[in-house]
Amino acid sequence: MTTPLVFVGGSARSGSTLLERMLSGLPGYCPVGELVFIWERGLKRNDRCGCGERFRECAFWNQVGDAGFGGWSQVDVNEAAWLRSTIDRHRNLDRIAGLRRRGSLDAALTAYTALTDRLYQAVREVSGACVIVDSSKHASYALLLRDLPSFEMRLVHLIRRSHGVAHSWSRQVPKPGVGDGSGFMSVHPPAWSVGLWIADNLLYDAIARQVPRATRIRYEDVIADPRAQLLRIVDELGLPAADRALGFLDGASAELTATHAFSGNPMRSHQGRVALRADDDWRLSMSGPRRALISAATWPLLLRYGYSIAPGADPRP
């Protein structure tokens, strides 16, 4: 029997870490964060786990290494990182999806699929989870997970208004769990982030038709009514839910417990009562001309996903 593997896909800076953290409040759900980066950022760079420990000092991830590979020392980390960087590219989407012959990619794709399946099997064994939640977001990785023999991938296509995503990419946000803690998350101009927003969302529209179960959720709706949106995910993806009351939610806040989610937004390490407030600073700080340019570039998808073209016409979360 295969285990549900919930994959949160969409454009980066859309609130996937928050959604994953809330899903982890359901009994038996294990969030792993952006596990696509485990080889480079975990085993090589030794970033911090969501629990606060460095990856190589985290008891959970050491148990995963033991269960899956007889210890991380038995994994050729350079080869694993090479496989990831070779396979996880947009240019390989058609070959991973089976729309074109694998050709020279066949051996690497077979090896990377087997390695990844062992990794998630070990997570399942150590955590005892009935559902694993991954927020890696990469479209090529989603297609790889779709074909894991031991899991059934179920897709959450998470969308956030293009203006909010573009504004998020323009800000300097510290990365406290990375390296010596002095770095910042990547910063990109609106032209780049808007292009990525369009490409990623179109890709996930297509991928949703290639998996057994998929649902589309808006970040703004999750903030406005988290209980309804989480239950919608559970129901539309056919997931188990031992606690439909979602007792960790209390109005506009959530009680978040420590997890071992890896990589992603710094809020993955937050614990305790967390206010569920929309990150909509862009409404005040984004200039009128920039708003208009982003609307002009993204209006077809804004309408497709239920947003107004003019940001001010949307109801506030």
How many Cβ atoms from other residues are within 10 Å of residue 280's Cβ? 17
Closest CA to 194 of 213, 167, 171: 167
Residue 263, pLDDT score: 86
Give phi and psi for 106, each to the nearest 5: -60, -50
Reported as a single tens digit per residue, the pLDDT across 173-202 is 666 556 655 566 678 898 999 999 999 999
pLDDT > 90? residue 313: no
Q: At 173, is the secondary structure helix, strand, or coil?
A: coil
Q: What is the pLDDT of residue 186?
A: 77
How far is residue 79's CA from residue 62's CA, in Å, rounded to a whole number?
Answer: 19
Q: Which of 222, 200, 278 is nearest to 11 (CA)?
A: 200
In this prediction, residues 273-282 reach a mean pLDDT of: 87
Tens of pLDDT, residues 37-57: 999 999 999 999 999 999 999
Please give the domain boundaries of the chain with CATH numbers for all domains.
3-279 (3.40.50.300)
What's the pLDDT at 178?
Answer: 64
Q: Indicate the pLDDT class of residue 209, thresholds 50, 70 and 90.
A: very high
CA 166 to chain centre: 18
pLDDT recorded at residue 272: 85
Cβ distance 226 to 9 under 8 Å? no
Do the beta carbons of residue 136 and residue 265 sit within 8 Å? no
Of the two residues 263 and 176, the one the predictor is more confident about is 263
User: Which two three-digit tokens encode residue 65?
Assistant: 């290494």
Neighbours of 214 (CB within 10 A): 20
pLDDT bin (cut points 50, 70, 90) of residue 306 is very high
At 270, is the pLDDT very low, low, confident or very high (cuts 50, 70, 90)?
confident
Residue type, 305: Y
Residue 269 has pLDDT above 90, yes or no: no
**The predicted structure's pLDDT at residue 27:** 94
Averaged pLDDT, 69-83: 97
User: The whole model's pTM is what?
Assistant: 0.93
Q: Give Rg (Cα) of the chain.
A: 19
What is residue 184's predicted lDDT score, i.e. its pLDDT? 61
pLDDT confidence tier of residue 105, bands split at 50, 70 and 90: very high
Mean pLDDT, the chain, integer: 92
What pLDDT was estimated at residue 181? Answer: 59
C-beta of residue 117 within 8 angstroms of C-beta of residue 69: no
Task: Give the per-residue pLDDT at 255.
Answer: 92
Distance CA 75, CA 44 (A): 12
Under the banding of pLDDT at 50, 70 and 90, the label for residue 29 is very high
DSSP state of 36: G
